[in-house]
Chains A and B, each alone.
Chain A
Amino acid sequence: MKMAFQQELWQPKELDVATDQLTRTEEKKELRIPAERAQSVGQTVGKPFVDNPRMICREVNVYYGDKHAIRQVSLDIARHEVIAMIGPSGCGKSTFIRCLNRMNDTIDGCRVTGQILLDGQNIYDRQVDVVPLRAQVGMVFQKPNPFPKSIYDNVAYGPKIHGLARNRSELDQIVEISLRKAGLWEEVKDRLSQSGTSLSGGQQQRLCIARTIAVGPEVILMDEPCSALDPIATGKIEELIDELRQQYSIAIVTHSMQQAARVSQRTAYFHLGDLIEVGQTDQLFTMPRHKLTQDYITGRFG
């Protein structure tokens, strides 16, 4: 990593108090910030908003039962960008991206407030059906989870349930294009009928990406997509993410700051349910504005 931490940090005056308090909280190893302080940290540093965004999130709160997992998060996701979510374990970054295609609906006791707009439409609106939403906002998970079906059927599954292909040859085409985009076609074109579970971990994850692409999403959410993979497979996935950016908006959760620095254009730093700082990736890693961000990226905790 090539980062200059010695630089003078610019910090807005009004944030000093909050930062101080937070630092002390950290020292006491408290996991929760008391409610009265929450308001003051609800302010995100940096540039959470962009022009002409694909997704708009405003004052999003997530509760698991009584636990307040995400507080007042406002963030835009731009077109043709990769935005990385970083932060220590339990900071809410996975919870946040799972809000973006309402995967949190499947968790008992999970409640989301605030607004999340996809192309101007609030996805938490009563009229919105999650089924087409999840086709528009696809998701790749931490552990490769191909279905116990053939490679072909894994990719064809999404188009089939959404009726995207009128006949077999169209379906064949979608499968081939998706596998090509995922960089897997050359490796599997002669064994499409083999089980998806017979592939290696990295291939499985690319198969899952192909499966997601096949339904023609606008946004792809990736929840630590490389955490179960070795460095070579990780490298391939990262190259792939960079190529996919041409067509899709990508939100990726990662524990690896190197990965965030390599693949993303913007980075958002979460801490204990708060969105602390958002910025251009190179700026955030070289000149973090917030004390907590600096502590995290210099490895003081996390």
Chain B
Amino acid sequence: MLTPATIVIAILLLTAAAYRIGVRRSLSVAGGAQAIRVLHSRPPYYGVLTALWCALPALLVLALWQALAGGVITHLVKADLPPEMRALSPAQFSLVINDIKNIINGDVPPDRVSPAIQTAAEHYRRLQQISHLAAAAVVLSLAILGLALVRGRIHTGLRARNHVEQLVRWLLAACSTVAIFTTIGIVLSVLYEALRFFKAVPVLDFLFGLEWSPQMAIRADQVGSSGAFGAVPVLAGTVLISAIAMAVAVPIGLMAAIYMSEYAGKKFRAVAKPLMEILAGIPTVVYGFFAALVVAPFIRGIGQALGLDVSSESALAAGLVMGIMIIPFVSSLSDDMINAVPQSLRDGALGLGATRSETIKQVVLPAALPGIVGGVLLAVSRAIGETMIVVMAAGLTANMTLNPFKAVTTVTVQIVTLLVGDQEFDSPKTLAAFALGLLLFAITLGLNIIALKVVRKYKEQYE
């Protein structure tokens, strides 16, 4: 059976052969292994060049073929279907195609569907086979062509190494763009769904609305049928919890970093630093139930003892635990930044008779400050995007409050609750999740850009 997988294997075998052929050919044009000095590059480069020209165009064409063939075949099959089927709406037509594919894959016995579809399936199968054959023929001949072309061009003056390096450079560039294209893809998909949401709910209502209750009526006479999609209370919850988290993480993390880099002995540092970084390795789910089962009841107990009204799911509990989670972020980034301050600056201050703490406060920290700020901003965007802890410990009610003892909800929690379970993907209720996602993405992206700029500016200062 000639499938794409077998074609790929064939290409790989050819590539291996191409490498050998390239090496052999280069040796023979040089006139034997003793005379390889006359070659511009060492023989393996000729092998790699031949192999690359054999494999890369063939694999590219195969990938393109695979991407396009399905559409072409479907189109051809559709053209041969009875007219009443061709008149179906796109959604129903895709069901027909689904049936055809199921028959081909053997998931559905052929006698369960109508004869028209059976013929179509037969047609589809035939076309697919033709496509595979054609692909194999085209791709393999392309591979052989590439091999032969390069082999024919091998002579002592061929700059094989330079060509290979050029090709490798393009390969590396292609890999580095994968991340960029993925980001763009994610943004576009979220943006697309969010735009659908904004057709139902005006952008301004979403951004500045003060009420969040994402309920859409299924029937018009339903109680509580009017949904409200104001993002402000949800955002306020995110800001409140992040603020609590930063209030915990920044002082503790920064002071830990100062101790580690300026005061701690080598031995203590060697033990304490990895231990502290373990905090970053604890799964957030674990933090989540630590917050929900230990910290939240503890805070409620203290609150009751003091006569305060503390709900069992409080912003404070979630924020505290999140802060602890973020400590290693702040401390290890600040530690790096403090260590990057040249020793000569410390010497300068100490040489003037500054005490150690004066040196740290007035010279080292100001010098490291931009870097520390950058690190803190990165930590903030981490806090804003954090989900598990708040899902488990912060609650679901969208309270507009700055009271840390109340339950609040965050953007991430709302996205999770909106998308968990069976959902219709054309209801504003579900689409609201994408709008929130877009909002979150915009905020963290903004913070990251600022953070990177600040860090870069800082680095320039000492280069």
Q: List the interface of chain A (C-beta within 8 A of B).
A: 101, 103, 106, 108, 130-135, 138-141, 143, 145-149, 157-158, 161-162, 197, 208, 211-212, 215
Tell me, in angstroms, the Cα distance from A131 to B363 when the chains sit together: 16
Of residues 340 through 381 on chain B, the ones whose CB sits less than 8 Å from some CB of chain A are: 342, 344-355, 358, 362-363, 366-367
Within 8 Å by CB of B354, from A108, A145, A161, lies A161
Q: What's the least CB distance linking B104 to chain A, in Å?
A: 70
A-B contact count (CB 8 A): 71
Tell which of A140, A148, A212 has the most Cβ of chain B within 10 Å: A148
Q: Give the number of chain B interface residues (Cβ < 8 Å).
A: 21
Tell me, in angstroms, the Cα distance from A138 to B350 when the chains sit together: 10
* Interface assignment of B182: CB less than 8 Å from any CB of chain A: no
Within 8 Å by CB of B362, from A108, A134, A161, lies A161
B344 to chain A: which residues have CB within 8 Å?
A: 141, 143, 145
In the complex, residue of chain A having the shortest beta-carbon distance to the beta carbon of B265: A108
**CB-based contact B367/A138 at 8 Å:** no
A139 to chain B: which residues have CB within 8 Å?
A: 347, 351
**CB-based contact B352/A211 at 8 Å:** yes
Binary CB contact string for chain B from 377 to 390 against chain A (1 if under 8 A, 0 otherwise): 00000000000000
Within 8 Å by CB of A106, from B345, B350, B363, lies B350
* Interface assignment of B177: CB less than 8 Å from any CB of chain A: no
* Interface assignment of B105: CB less than 8 Å from any CB of chain A: no
**CB-based contact A157/B349 at 8 Å:** yes
Within 8 Å by CB of B348, from A130, A135, A145, A197, lies A145
Within 8 Å by CB of B342, from A134, A138, A145, A211, lies A145
Q: List the interface of chain B (C-beta within 8 A of A).
A: 265-266, 342, 344-355, 358, 362-363, 366-367, 461
**CB-based contact A157/B352 at 8 Å:** yes
Q: Is the interface of A mostly helix, strand, loop or mixed?
A: helix
A141 to chain B: which residues have CB within 8 Å?
A: 344, 347-348, 351
Q: List 17 A-B contacts (CB under 8 A).
A: A101-B351, A103-B351, A106-B350, A132-B353, A135-B353, A139-B351, A140-B351, A141-B344, A141-B348, A145-B345, A147-B345, A147-B349, A147-B363, A147-B367, A148-B367, A157-B354, A211-B348
A212 to chain B: which residues have CB within 8 Å?
A: 351-352
Tell me, in angstroms, the Cα distance from A140 to B348 when the chains sit together: 8
Tell which of B347, B353, B354, B355 has the most Cβ of chain A within 10 Å: B353
**CB-based contact A148/B352 at 8 Å:** no
A138 to chain B: which residues have CB within 8 Å?
A: 351-352
Within 8 Å by CB of B366, from A131, A148, A208, lies A148
Known: A106-B350, A147-B348. 10 other contacts (CB 8 A): A103-B347, A131-B354, A132-B353, A139-B351, A145-B342, A147-B366, A147-B367, A161-B354, A208-B348, A212-B351
**CB-based contact A161/B353 at 8 Å:** yes
Tell me, in angstroms, the Cα distance from A130 to B349 when the chains sit together: 13
Tell me, in angstroms, the Cα distance from A161 to B361 when the chains sit together: 12
